[in-house]
Amino acid sequence: MSVALPSITGVRLTPILIADPPLLNLSGVHQPYTPRLIVEVLTSAGVIGLGETYGDAVYLERAAALSRELIGMSIGAVNAVAGLGRGADALLNDAPAASGLRGVLTTDKVRSSVVSAFEVAVFDALGRHLGVPVHTLLGGAVRDRVEYSGYLFYKWAEHPVEGASSDDWDAALDPAGIVAQARKFLAYGGFRSFKLKGGVLPPEQEIAAIRALAAEFPGAPLRLDPNGGWSMRTALQVAEELAGTIEYLEDPTAGLDDLAELHRRTAIPLATNMIVTCFDEIRPAFDRDAVQIVLSDHHFWGGLLATRDLAAICRTYGRGLSIHSNTHLGISLAAMTQVAATVPDLDYACDTHYPWQSEDVLTERFRFTDGCVAVPDAPGLGVDLDRAAMARLHERWKALPEYRNRDDVAAMRRADPAYRAPAAPKF
Ligand code: GKR
Ligand code: MG
């Protein structure tokens, strides 16, 4: 006898703006506010499932169109939800400026990022309905906590915009500032490994920062990620100088052939969240041995089931897997933690921007202990929505139409009107 599961009766899409510190990267600097989209899937049983994804205009438009197709679907039809809107793929030329940091953007990548939030919300609803955590629906947790790395950024003390959001972190523009930031991460959540967002300062300064971290935290795994901003020559130099000090280099150069050559010549492990961001991109990278660690991201890959598919492919081809992060709140952290808990061979601490976000739409913020998040065992994702907080952030979204897209180049231009997006490679 089959048991009927509740069906989807409605979908609420709430765009919000969240405060973001002035973090520097290859493209420019983070804006004072960044858009996110909160998804609520309403069901015939009364339970509501939560999801979160990018909130830039192109994602909002696609979410609005695809959400109509969810109505009437069973919350057990998770595969069908993840497959919504699949069709011809095309390059997206008018993508938000920050998309440069997630590699080539296509219409199907936008679709995947939208359905990932629907899929997570449906899993959340299913888990709440059945009284089991999402990790049980994914086959069961193989660990009770998930490790994250302390994600270090060069940053300014404040945004160059009057009345902008402020933060509790100091400026960090040299090795001493980066080490001080890492110490603060240690005090905040006991992080035991660190990633530095590079591609900001000339490479010798970033090498010096990594060396300063290695001296301060002997044995701690360290990574450096210039988002593809180095020439082959620079990448070779950094790889040679940091061999033995760094766990891996992340997207040191932008091209597949360069990455393959870099690995062949230096044997340094290379990770990516820019070159391999969808299933079609796996084979060329693995065939050339251009990538040794894939930084998965359920927002990129189309959900939690797709993340597990990717994990299986990486396992089969002897590649490492970890998790990438972009500015996000607690619903996304819950989803990342739920899926990470079920992947046996997750050998690297995952990335998260969460400590940089002072706001959330949850009733309770996640805490880190020894750099880890405890895997929630409550039904669904194990988190609850703070409607008043979400409403406040939505009001901000309505009040500040100038932040409809994340645009790190435009944000940098506010400090330096002559600033242009750097030509590749930057260094
Ligand atoms: O937020 O500045 C940033 C990061 O550079 C982010 O956009 C990247 O997607 O963190 C990401 C990465 O690992 O490349
Ligand atoms: Mg990266």
Q: Which atom of ligand 1 is nearest to the CA of 251?
A: 14
3-state secondary structure of 289: coil
What pLDDT does residue 2 have?
59
Based on the domain organization, do 328 and 390 belong to the same domain?
no
The pLDDT value recorded for residue 42 is 98
pLDDT, position 99: 52
Pairwise CA distance, residues 74 & 230, whole Å: 48
* 74: helix, strand or coil: strand
- In this prediction, residue 105 carries a pLDDT of 87
Instruction: Supply the pLDDT for residue 104.
Output: 82
Q: Which protein residue has the closest C-alpha to ligand 1 atom 1?
A: 326
Mutate to test the pocket of ligand 1, among 20, 36, 99, 227 (most ligand atoms within 8 A of CB): 227
Least Cα distance to 91 among 272, 278, 365 occurs for 278
Residues of the chain with pLDDT under 70: 1-2, 93-100
Looking at residue 225, which CATH number applies to its domain?
3.20.20.120
Would you state the pLDDT for residue 93? 66
Tell me how crowded residue 371 is: count the other CB atoms within 10 A of its CB: 24
Examine the domain organization and report whether 152 and 261 are in the same domain. yes
Write out pLDDT tens, residues 66-102.
999 999 999 999 999 999 999 888 888 665 555 567 7
Task: Please report the atom of ligand 1 found closest to the CA of residue 274.
Answer: 14
Phi, psi of 88 (to 5 degrees): -65, 145
**pLDDT at position 204, please?**
98
Task: Please say if 197 is a catalytic residue.
Answer: yes
Domain annotation covers residue 419: no
Instruction: Write down the H helix ranges in 190-278.
Output: 203-216, 232-242, 256-266
How far away, in angstroms, is 149 Cα from ligand 1 center? 14
Of all ligands present, the nearest one to the C-alpha of 102 is 1
Full residue range of the structural domain in which residue 259 is found: 142-374
**pTM flag (> 0.85):** yes
pLDDT of residue 141: 98
Query: Domain check: are 291 and 394 in the same one?
Result: no
Closest ligand to C-alpha of residue 406 is: 1
Q: In whole angstroms, what is the distance from residue 351 CA to residue 194 CA?
A: 9
Give yes or no for a contact between 38 and 50, defined as CB atoms under 8 angstroms apart: yes
Is 407 within a domain?
no
Is 298 one of the annotated active-site residues of the chain?
Answer: no
Write down the pLDDT at residue 102.
76
Contact 147, 341 (CB under 8 A): no
CA–CA dist 251, 374 (Å, integer):
29
Residue 314 lies in a domain: yes
Residues 295 and 317 in one domain: yes
> How many structural domains compose the chain?
2
Name the residues around ion ligand 2, CB cutoff 5 A: 225, 250, 273
Cα gap 159→153, rounded to integer Å: 14
The β-bridge partners of 272 are 294
Pocket of ligand 1 (CB under 6 A): 23, 25, 98, 101-102, 197, 225, 227, 273, 324-327, 351
* Cα(167)–Cα(188) distance, integer angstroms: 14
Taking the centre of ligand 2 as the mean of its atom positions, its distance from the CA of residue 386, in whole angstroms, is: 30
User: Of 186, 183, 182, 184, which Cα lies nearest the Cα of 196?
Assistant: 182
